[in-house]
Amino acid sequence: MKNRLARCLAVLSLAAVATSAGAQAFPAKPIRWLVPYAAGGGSDFLARTVAQTLSTQVGQPVLVDNKPGGNTALAAAETARAPADGYTVLSADNGTLVFNPALYKSLSYSPTKDLAPVTLMGKFPMILVVGANSGIATAKDFIARAKAKPGDVSYASAGAGSPHHLAMELLKVEAGLFMVHVPYRGAAPALADVVGGQLPAMMVDLAAGAGFIKGGKVRALAVANPTRLPQLPDVPTFAELGYKNVEAAALVGVVVPSATPPEVVNTLNRQLVAAIHEPSVNKRMVDFGVEPVGNTPAQYTALLKAETVRWHKLIRDLKITLD
């Protein structure tokens, strides 16, 4: 009896060691990283920058796969249906995880039921810009002009339901403005029309707008960030101008299928955070206009909950829908 018990204990011990070793060995094969946007944008840059270092650190290929469509829903739904083993990850922004459930009556995925947060990689703070030849010198000038002619001032965005769109809607509410939204398919064509004078203004992130700002083609008036951006030290925050609630950014993180084991999520988190904090990666992100983060799954989850409360109220109050 004692020998049989000893053998059982030995088998259980070996099984526990094997399980532990298996968890520690993750990943043991290539990781597929879905990006819900076309190649060349901010989310694509961020994924490829982090993935390259992640691959080196874990000794496995990390394959970035661009799957645009459905306002990010196509890639999100594909991730939700993928095996919950940590080998399919998704770059998800606040459009995917926060805005879409309020903007659409039905979605092909549920951010809270189908996807599990791993880490927030970085923030793309929004910046109010106008054309260099618009005759507008400050944010106060812009707000005064919009107030003086309600409905006569239009603004561009990178797309309906994008962080750029909703950031300007937030400013409209806080400043008491009535402006007309003109959505584009991406920040680049929207910026081109602001530069050309077809539209006076837009909210843009630094990653998309830095070249236009540095080249003097658009003028940065205010940043929707708690603090001034180090890349634009002379541009005030909206809080400095009296609009403390005007804070908006594209938040890009990594999520996995919701049934992914916690130990795999935590391992992925440690690996991704290490890649984000690697000095060369960190510098590339900052130079590109991204504020690096790299937080825990719990911190990322809490942030998403807070953002959902804030933005869903705005979307409901303004009756914004994309159906």
- Read off the pLDDT of each residue in 121-139 and give the average, rounded to a whole number: 96
Helix (H, G, I), strand (E, B) or coil at 239: helix
162/205 Cα distance (integer angstroms): 11
CB under 8 Å, gap of 24 or more: what pairs does 309-316 form?
A: 311/94, 311/98, 311/99, 311/102, 311/166, 312/98, 312/101, 312/102, 314/166, 314/169, 314/170, 314/173, 315/99, 315/102, 315/103, 315/166, 316/102
- Read off the pLDDT of each residue in 223-229 and give the average, rounded to a whole number: 96
- Of the pLDDT bands very low, low, confident and very high (cuts 50, 70, 90), residue 7 is low
Q: CA nearest 168: which of 290, 314, 1?
A: 314
The per-residue pLDDT for 248 is 97
12-39 per-position pLDDT tens digit: 444 443 344 444 589 999 999 999 998 8
| Span of 6-20, 75-89, 247-261 with lowest mean pLDDT | 6-20
CA angle, 140 then 289 then 210, to 5° = 60
Whether residue 5 has pLDDT greater than 80: no
78-101 per-position pLDDT tens digit: 999 999 999 999 999 999 999 999
* Mean residue pLDDT across the chain: 92
Residues 6+ apart with CB under 8 A from 264: 23, 26, 85, 86, 256
